[in-house]
């Protein structure tokens, strides 16, 4: 699993970020959407998950996180759950969705 060190920008098409080695990389939301059925079997047929690109959790993990459906998965962890909420707001603004795991 790859990890994000810092987000540079969020667009309708994806996220430009630095990984932990400070290499600039791109998360393509369309690619994540195409991989959705592989990572979340059975949920892809539900209309509410049609634009799903990630899964996230605020509750069970040590740190709240979002995992994008890339190969390999890319996880972004947050010390403050409000920062995850802000990222989700940006993603939702562009019409994408994240499945919330309890």
Question: What is the reported pLDDT for 91?
Answer: 95
CA distance 52 to 47: 10
Taking the C-alpha atoms of residue 67 and residue 88, their distance in angstroms, rounded to an integer, is 12
Alpha-carbon distance 56 to 18, whole Å? Answer: 20
Per-domain boundaries in the chain: 29-100
For residues 87 and 62, which has the higher predicted lDDT (pLDDT)?
87
Average pLDDT, the chain: 86
Of the candidates 33, 26, 97, 42, the one whose C-alpha atom is nearest the C-alpha of residue 69 is: 33
Residue 45 pLDDT: 55
pLDDT tens per residue across span 47-82: 566 789 999 998 866 888 999 999 999 988 888 888
Contacts with 87 (C-beta within 8 Å, 6 or more apart), sequence order: 7, 10, 66, 76, 78
């Amino acid at each position: 699993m790859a990890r994000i060190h810092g987000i540079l920008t969020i667009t309708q098409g994806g996220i430009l970020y630095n990984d932990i080695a400070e290499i600039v990389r791109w998360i393509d939301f369309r690619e994540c959407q195409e991989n959705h059925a592989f990572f979340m079997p059975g949920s892809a047929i539900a209309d509410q998950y049609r634009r799903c690109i990630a899964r996230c959790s605020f509750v069970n993990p040590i740190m709240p996180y979002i995992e994008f459906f890339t190969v390999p998965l890319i996880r972004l962890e947050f010390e403050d759950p409000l920062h995850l909420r802000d990222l989700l707001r940006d993603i939702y603004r562009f019409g994408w969705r994240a499945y919330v795991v309890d």
